Structure 1
């Protein structure tokens, strides 16, 4: 529970050059709080390692079971129905529009998820399932990704620009 509570303790904006350091900053900030909450030194160290290693931005591959579970849980937050809401809210907060007006699926342009929220599904979200480390995480990611694919298919129908054949499969590879 300590790792789950502390994993995003220090919030660094997504556009900050220090974004990749957020997990390390959270791990360090967690130490005195965990000590104050009577965690022993061994638990504090395991939690700190897990918090430091979980981050997508940092790009570290966790090897400890707690770190693998924390990284999977963190990535699962970005998938499924909650992931769709979070992606839309984050894109709005960063000033992105929902999608490119004439080429929403980026068939003839370079994807830019800072400008178009829909691009984030293909630059990051749909690539996450293959990075999950635990069996339970992989199963849940599959379920949530299937829901996101249904959403994207429906979105294409409503826009009158169907999801291009093979785009999902290409992204999931």
Structure 2
């Protein structure tokens, strides 16, 4: 709430149209996946899609591994990195996060353009996942 108030103040100071302030505030509130707030305006849908596309891209992949390292998670399950014979556990294995969360994002996109880009990015992530599993060969638990 404090950040939104600060944003409103800053935009008003920059002569942003007052009638658009609430739409911008809603877009900011609704953009986060974890917030679980439904995007009601076109602006909010676009910002929400952009946030999810970020998670599906190279920056999102780097962030996934960074956060997994901070949490003390392994890169991947040492015997079954693709989770073909076990339940996924993205708290223990970074690579599992692709299947647990990221693979669901294209179906949650709000715009047709966002959905198309998300499908492309997911295809690259899934290729990366396969390549990682093939190359890791027992090193995935490091």
Note whether the superposition's TM-score is higher than 0.5: yes
- Per-residue deviation, residues 72-112 of structure 1 (Å, max 9, x unmatched): 00000011323222211222223222112233233454433
Count of matched residue positions in the alignment of Structure 1 and Structure 2: 138
* Structure 1 runs (4+) greater than 4 angstroms displaced: none
- Using structure 2 for the length normalisation, give the TM-score: 0.84
The Cα of 1:25 is off from its aligned counterpart by 5.6
Tell me, in whole angstroms, the C-alpha distance in 2 between the residues paired with 1:28 and 1:97: 40
For structure 2, the residue ranges without an aligned partner over 5 or more in a row are: none
Tell me, in whole angstroms, the C-alpha distance in 2 between the residues paired with 1:153 and 1:40: 49
Q: Does 1:136 align with 2:104?
A: no
Structure 1 contact 27–49 (Cα < 8 Å) conserved: no
Q: Does 1:72 align with 2:49?
A: yes
More relative contact order in 1 or in 2 (CA 8 Å, sep 6+)?
Answer: 2
* Backbone CA RMSD of aligned residues: 2.0
- Using structure 1 for the length normalisation, give the TM-score: 0.71
What is the SS of the residue equivalent to 1:128? helix
For structure 1, the residue ranges without an aligned partner over 5 or more in a row are: 1-23, 162-173
